[in-house]
Structure 1
Amino acid sequence: MEYTSRVPAPPLDGLIDDIYCLSGVPRHPRLNVPPMPSAHLFITMGGPVRLYDADPDVPPMVLEDGWFMGMRTRRFMIEFPSPARMVGVHFKPWGLSPFVDLPSIELRDRCVPVDGVWGRSVDRIRGRIAAVKTVGEALQVLEDELRSRLVAAPSRGLHLVAQTAGCVEAAWGNVSIGALTKEAGASGNQLAAQFKFHTGLGPKRVARIYRFARLILSIDARRQVDWSGLADSAGFFDQAHFAKEFKEFTGLTPTAYVALRRRHPADKGFPPDNGPMPAE
């Protein structure tokens, strides 16, 4: 399956990591996806995509047409059709907020249909994408739609969250929340409330997810892994804390994760990071 992406032009680049297209026959139809520092928009152009939550009490979801997904606090499994074709958006943790007229906390660990947020629009968007001939044109259709949806006056607190969360992003989560709160000139409760409104999570949880993302991106399964060094550089205070968090995020021990990566090396360019992993 081919992954093609690009970073949108300003000002969208301050809200979005990339706009992408997935197409082709998936090498691994099912992927386990740990919590990563992104909210999502999916527009399906082929068969439905299925999602399975790590929480067994959450029923599986069949995603057709278009869906928003908020920030995740637990892993999920995604199952692609074969062949697959979809376009999507990886929003920064605060990046979805200016495009949807509801608190991001209502999207945490949830998916909602595009038409439930943007009115009856998904058929029009899918029709425009279907009418173009190239992947680049399809990405431009979605970028134009996002640009038209960007609110002129951001809601209260977004600038504060974007600035503070941007510091968390730059430090890959290895940053003092107390120092960030002081720098922001807000109380801890005020900052937490604004983070939850605009990202769906508190600043500590966002930092935790960035810290894990840095760790998972640092692992090279082709070589001997220095777990102690990786854990220390990512800001974990001891090995027990590191092992517990790794198992919570991936469902695997560090040793089992590396063994899986060695059996199934990531395709070049897909996934775009080391987070999604084959579900065996």
Structure 2
Amino acid sequence: MRYVRRVPAPPLDRFVDDVYCLTGVPRHRRMIVPPMPSAHLFLNLGAPFLLRDSDPSMPVVPVLGGLFAGVWTRRFLVEYPGLVRLVGVHFKPWGISPFARVAANELRDRWVPADAVWPRSVDRLRYHLGDLTSDTEMLRVLEEELRSALAEGPPRGLDLVQHTAGRLAAAGGAIPVGALSGSAGVSVNHLATQFKAHVGLTPKRVARIYRFARLILSVDARGPVDWPGLAHTAGYFDQAHLSREFKDFTGHTPTEYLALRRRIPAERDFPPDHGPMPAE
């Protein structure tokens, strides 16, 4: 399966990590996606694929057209068809806010039909993308749609959230919330209110996800892994704390995760296979 991505030009890069195309026959049909510091847009141009929540009480969601998803605090599973054709957006945690007609806290841990967020835009966009064969051209069209949907001015409070969440990202989540609010000159409660409005989570929950992302992206399964050292570097209390978080976020213990990665290595130059992992 081919994965092509690019970072959009300003001003979109303030809100979007990348836009991407995913096409071809998947090497792994079922992938577990742990919590990561991003929100999503999926625009499916091929056969339906399925999204399964790790909460078994939640229904399976078939993706026929487009879906927006906020930041997830628990893992979910993607089940691809035999042939994949989709484009997507990885938003920064605060990145959906300037585009959406839905509050960020309503998108947390949810998949929402794209029409509810972009009324009347999705069918037109899928129509324009449908006949294109060039990845570059598909990404250009998607960027143009994002630019046209971008609000003229940032919503109130977004500058504060972007600044403080950017500090969390740079530090891998290892900054106390009190230090964030103090340096920004606002109360902890005010900062939490703005994060809930623009991210859907409190700063503490965002920090937790950044810390895990820093951890899992630093694991090289090809050699010995110093879990105590990684726990210290990522800001966990100890290795037991790391292990509990790892199991919660991936469904695997660190030892099980290493065994899986060594048995089924990530594809070279295929970023979606680095944090996400094959489901067996």
Q: TM-score, normalised by structure 2?
A: 0.98
Residue 145 (str. 1) matches residue 151 (str. 2): no
1:199 corresponds to which residue?
199
Distance 1:146 1:110, change over 3 A: same
Matches within 5 A, 1:59-74: 59-74=59-74
Matches within 5 A, 1:232-247: 232-247=232-247
The offset of 1:273, in angstroms, is 5.8
Supply the AA of the counterpart residue of 1:62: P
The offset of 1:102, in angstroms, is 2.4
> Which structure 2 residue ranges, 5 or more long, are not aligned?
none
251-260 or 123-132, which deviates more:
123-132
Q: Secondary structure at the match of 1:159?
A: helix
1:48 corresponds to which residue?
48
Tell me, yes or no, if the aligned pair for 1:217 and 1:273 is still in contact at 8 Å. no
CA distance in 2, matches of 1:273, 1:162: 27
CA distance in 1, matches of 2:271, 2:59: 25
Q: Secondary structure at the match of 1:97?
A: coil
1:20-79 Cα shifts (integer Å, max 9, x gaps): 000000000000010000000000000112011111111111111111011001000001
Superposition CA RMSD, Å = 0.9
Supply the AA of the counterpart residue of 1:38: S
1:89 corresponds to which residue?
89
42-51 or 124-133, which deviates more:
124-133
2:2 corresponds to which residue?
2
The offset of 1:231, in angstroms, is 0.6
2:30 corresponds to which residue?
30
Residue 106 (str. 1) matches residue 106 (str. 2): yes
CA distance in 2, matches of 1:184, 1:102: 27
Supply the AA of the counterpart residue of 1:244: R
1:167-212 Cα shifts (integer Å, max 9, x gaps): 0011111112111010111111110010011001100110110100
1:214 corresponds to which residue?
214
Paired positions, count: 280
Tell me, yes or no, if the aligned pair for 2:102 and 2:116 is still in contact at 8 Å. no
Tell me, yes or no, if the aligned pair for 2:267 and 2:273 is still in contact at 8 Å. no
1:151-175 Cα shifts (integer Å, max 9, x gaps): 0021110000001101001111111
CA distance in 2, matches of 1:79, 1:258: 22
Tell me, yes or no, if the aligned pair for 1:161 and 1:198 is still in contact at 8 Å. yes
Supply the AA of the counterpart residue of 1:173: G
CA distance in 2, matches of 1:14, 1:124: 25
Supply the AA of the counterpart residue of 1:6: R
20-29 or 171-180, which deviates more:
171-180
Q: TM-score, normalised by structure 1?
A: 0.98
Q: Secondary structure at the match of 2:41?
A: strand
The offset of 1:224, in angstroms, is 0.5
CA distance in 2, matches of 1:133, 1:243: 44
The offset of 1:85, in angstroms, is 0.5
CA distance in 1, matches of 2:53, 2:67: 16
Identity %: 61
Tell me, yes or no, if the aligned pair for 2:101 and 2:116 is still in contact at 8 Å. no
Q: Once superposed, which parts of structure 1, at least 4 consecutive aligned residues long, lie more than 6 Å away?
A: none
Q: Secondary structure at the match of 1:212?
A: helix
1:180 corresponds to which residue?
180
> Which structure 1 residue ranges, 5 or more long, are not aligned?
none
CA distance in 2, matches of 1:23, 1:268: 16
CA distance in 2, matches of 1:133, 1:111: 27
